[in-house]
Chains A and B, each alone.
Chain A
């Protein structure tokens, strides 16, 4: 063939080349854009949560000069001071601060400046130190949720007074307090010290944290040994028969069954049939065990598979029985991988919400649970409950609770990464 014969082909290829390169560029750009979209969501996500939730970690407090006059308290010295009328003390302190008010409505607004917890704070202080009765003391007490929102700049003061939760008069009072240095924002210990509450400024996540902790303990105690045992059986002992196939197919399917279906199982099996208590962390832990078992089994099997066969053969050659081979050699070597999988399963259990709704863990529970059968709620369920609340102040709390939850998940995953790193150096 002559060289002129190749030229038409060559020119045709060349003619199409710029079009093809353009398509190549577009395709590549599409990939970059898709990746950036994914990353952008993540940034947007955490950015919004931190912006919305960070302010909930502080709480507005007001410095109040209270006169612990036994006459106002209505108690004599020998009687338990805790029974005194501390509400009267607080309202008198407010009146002393801002002067007498003429109308009932104004007095009502004045009392709404402070949290209903203010009187209890003073009572606790007096209980701890009964000698305070009859003296004048200055105490920091929490402001009400609406005032807290205003101080944090989340109430727009420029809109009409009837449309916002804080009145003009309250704003004047708050500014007076601010000018006098009697108003401050400090770390919100209530968020971590209290259970749930109808009052947003008092609501905390302690009860939910303890409930989640109890459930995770139950889940860990049950799911870890059962999961490891199943993985050991399937990898080391199971004969190649129908039963082993059935178990294997089941585990893969269970890992993809919607979590709410596990909730239905928990409701009819544990609560209806075995008559276990509703809302109890024990039942929640059992349901989460069934839910996380497949995750643990699958990762434990991978870890056991990664142990070189030479180790098994070496041990067997020295006379170890099969159980001894597994117990003395395979499991210790596979342990880091198994632990990594277990932590990932636990972090999935910590974030799970839907099955817990089914077994009644959505009740409004103020008390911090003290045992596995006390009614309790869990951190993600608390988030769900708060996200549903109409009060504005709860939106901030929700975001804060989410940040706490994500913080725990981050810690667990970091632990998993650290363990995985150590495993890589060992094997």
Chain B
């Protein structure tokens, strides 16, 4: 039985169990719900949960273990010549066996061993699936009928069902924590493997980034260099350019909308500006690469500069546009959180609105604005698509915004897109970069979020 069919059948069984449980509770209570501890539906849920949950757990565990066990069995059944191969070759062989079994393209010749192994693979899997169906359905019916037999008027069905519901709530909320742990571990684990091949000091302080690894040991230029400094300076430059666009425009528009604009203008302009935040980054990337970059190049050349076609300026400008609404809305929050008594006092002393703004409100709102800007910086550092499409690939150590630079995110994408081996320094380098990116953005996020929160509490 296919897994999806199996799950549908299990769902149908649980559905039936619900009605059986409910009817039985009513029948035992003599037709009215009066005698029951819980509402009749809870007896139904109780039965259905017992019918479905254990079976689903078994199915999940089975599907997770099945490929591992089958592969182990297949490898054990291979002739001695194949069994003595290196791990890499063996992995390739196993992949080929699975591809052949699935009817996909196979690399290399299909010989008798391969054919026999793939047939054995299909046979094992077929048997395993039959066994799984039998066990899962048996378990569903067994546990379901056991639960059904325990239904009596005195059973605290509601409490049992609510226990399961609460366990689900706790489990769901722990996913956020597990995601963070997963990110840290997956990135850290591979990064440690990378640092076993490339020393940490070279990675952190090296001035060259050219991630080639040798295919043969005696190749010329076989040792790639993995110095992160040019990537960081490139990221820093693009982020700075973006901030030069986003902070003045975002802050000034927030001030205008909060203090000057008529309510109707604000009601129209604010959501319109928010549209900029909803545009996917790949669209900004297209815009940067095909429209802004040529324009920057023409403008720069007209002024007598030499401009690379993938200049940092174009990517930075477009990234700045993307961040405007973020800066604007966080500044708006900060400005609106300043108590109006402070504003009224300054205005009452005869200060003009701009003096009230620059002399009283902005200093009071400064922590909130700074926190918002830090969050915007984190966003700019982690932004990927704009720089992948509009910034360069070569790691230049330069301070000239008309030259092409590359960023941490661009390098992660370049290293990981396409076929790659999981063990080469090249692939592992991407995870080391991911670790650096995660730590840097996390630093900005934690600091920024803390400042914003403290600031909010100060005036509440």
Contacts and interface: CB of A to CB of B under 8 A. Distances in A.
Q: Do A and B bind each other?
A: yes
B451 to A, nearest CB: 13
B352 A30 contact: no
B282 A38 contact: no
A31 B251 CA distance: 8
Interface stretch (A54-62, A256-264, A331-339): A256-264
Given A32-B256, A357-B417, A362-B417, A247 B449 contact: no
B108 interface: no
A145 interface: no
Interface stretch (B124-132, B137-145, B164-172, B217-225): B164-172
A233 B169 contact: yes
A275 B438 CA distance: 24
A261 B256 contact: no
Contacts of A237: 166, 169
Contact of B382 (A260, A294, A358): A260
B172 A353 contact: no
Given A35-B256, A253-B180, A269 B186 contact: yes
Contact of A233 (B170, B187, B416, B442): B170
Contacts of A232: 169
Interface in A237-251: 237-238, 246-247, 250-251
A246 B176 CA distance: 10
A217 interface: no
Contact of B173 (A247, A260, A380): A247
A261 B283 contact: no
Q: Is the interface of A mostly helix, strand, loop or mixed?
A: helix
A262 B183 contact: yes
A368 interface: no
B441 to A, nearest CB: 6
A375 to B, nearest CB: 11
B354 A261 contact: no
Nearest to B251: A34
A33 B252 contact: yes
B409 A39 contact: no
A63 interface: no
B172 A254 contact: no
B20 interface: no
B219 to A, nearest CB: 27
Interface stretch (B198-206, B272-280, B393-401): B272-280
A232 B169 CA distance: 7
Contact of A38 (B176, B276, B381): B276
Interface in A1-30: 13, 20-21, 23-24, 27-28, 30
Given A42-B276, A247-B177, A260-B384, 17 more contacts: A20-B355, A27-B354, A33-B252, A38-B324, A251-B176, A252-B445, A253-B445, A256-B375, A258-B379, A259-B382, A267-B186, A268-B187, A293-B179, A351-B279, A353-B384, A380-B280, A387-B289
30 contacts: A24-B352, A31-B256, A31-B257, A33-B252, A34-B251, A37-B249, A38-B328, A237-B169, A238-B173, A250-B179, A253-B180, A256-B441, A258-B382, A258-B383, A260-B409, A260-B412, A260-B413, A260-B434, A272-B422, A294-B176, A297-B176, A321-B158, A321-B162, A351-B281, A353-B281, A358-B413, A380-B282, A384-B285, A387-B289, A387-B290
